[in-house]
């Protein structure tokens, strides 16, 4: 039977980017904390989904106890409604928003499309993106879609996939699909890019 330390380590390993060694470090770090810290930590985890909702429109997570709502970004009337920026995950959105130069709307895809795959990963909300673009194209509220994925093989694969599925919608409409331009080095994840790098990539989108 696995020990408590081993079991908890295995839970940490299920998180993105966490290997066995780092997972064990987390467990031993927790063992050195006061019981009050562990109580607060576990309480936050156990109530996480009760206090955080997923926006029906852009797919991002936001602080709300009313599930099934629309987030503040999507509800804003001060943003450019003609531009839609598609990112992989919430942390990418937060990084771009923090940079402070983009003022359009967002869609969080939820994941990337592997270069070789028999089907889409469950977390990738491609159908929801298709419906969002279709709705806004029909209402003539969309001029540009920016695909802001990491400069990786998976990011490139996802870009091509999105361009392909959206082609029937934008084919006879004045809607541009642009990719981030040079600025993101090959292999760079958007999550770890600084403000100047992202800004340069936006300016050179094509």
Which of these, 196, 103, 181, lies nearest to 149 by C-alpha position? 181
pLDDT computed for residue 174 by the predictor: 85
d(CA 10, CA 2): 10
Q: Mean per-residue pLDDT for 129-154?
A: 90
The pLDDT tens digits of the residues spanning 27-55 come to: 999 999 999 999 999 999 999 988 899 99
Q: How confident is the model at residue 190 (pLDDT cuts 50, 70, 90)?
A: low
- Domains in the chain, ordered, with CATH? 4-46 (1.10.8.420), 75-203 (3.40.1360.10)
Per-residue pLDDT at 152: 85
**CB distance 163 to 177 below 8 Å:** yes
Angle among Cα 167, 191, 38 to the nearest 5 degrees reads 130
Please tell me the distance from the alpha carbon of residue 169 to that of residue 34, in angstroms, as a whole number: 56
What does the alpha-carbon distance between residue 115 and residue 111 come to, in Å, rounded to a whole number?
Answer: 13
Q: Answer whether residue 196 shows pLDDT above 80.
A: no
Calculate the average pLDDT of the chain: 86
Beta strands in 118-183 (DSSP E): 144-148, 176-179
Question: What does the pLDDT look like over 51-84, one tens digit per residue?
Answer: 899 999 999 999 886 766 899 999 998 998 899 9
Tokens 């908890």 -> residue: 8
8 Å CB contact between 108 and 89? yes
More reliable by pLDDT, 63 or 200: 63
**Beta-bridge mates of residue 105:** 84
Rounded to an integer, the average pLDDT of 168-193 is 72
- In angstroms, rounded to a whole number, what is the distance separating the alpha carbons of residues 103 and 37? 39
**pLDDT (tens digit, 9 = 90+) per residue, 103-119?**
999 999 999 998 876 67
Q: What is the DSSP letter of 186?
A: T
Q: Which residues 6+ apart lie within 8 Å of 149 measured at CB?
A: 86, 87, 88, 112, 155, 156, 158, 159, 180, 190
**Which residue's structure tokens are 């130069």?**
101
pLDDT per residue over 1-18, tens digit each? Answer: 469 999 999 999 999 889
pLDDT computed for residue 189 by the predictor: 62
Q: Can you tell me the distance from the alpha carbon of 3 to that of 9, in angstroms, rounded to the nearest whole number?
A: 10
- 148 within 8 A of 190, measured Cβ to Cβ: yes
């Amino acid at each position: 039977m696995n020990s408590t330390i081993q079991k908890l380590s295995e839970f940490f390993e299920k998180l993105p980017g966490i290997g066995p060694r780092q997972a064990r470090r987390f467990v031993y770090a927790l063992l050195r904390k006061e019981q009050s810290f562990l109580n607060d930590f576990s309480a936050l985890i156990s109530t996480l989904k009760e206090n955080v909702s997923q926006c029906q429109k852009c797919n991002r997570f936001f602080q709300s106890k009313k599930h099934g709502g629309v987030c503040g970004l999507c509800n804003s009337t001060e943003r450019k409604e003609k531009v839609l920026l598609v990112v992989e995950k919430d942390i990418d959105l937060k990084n771009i928003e923090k940079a402070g130069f983009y003022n359009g709307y967002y869609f969080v895809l939820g994941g990337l499309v592997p270069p070789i795959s028999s089907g889409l990963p469950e977390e990738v909300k491609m159908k929801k993106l298709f419906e969002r673009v279709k709705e806004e194209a029909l209402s003539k509220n969309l001029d540009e879609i920016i695909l802001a994925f990491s400069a990786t093989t998976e990011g490139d694969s996802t870009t091509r996939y999105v361009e392909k599925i959206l082609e029937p919608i934008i084919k006879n409409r004045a809607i541009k699909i642009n990719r981030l331009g040079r600025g993101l080095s090959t292999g760079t994840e958007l999550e770890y890019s600084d403000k100047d790098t992202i800004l340069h990539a936006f300016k050179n989108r094509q």
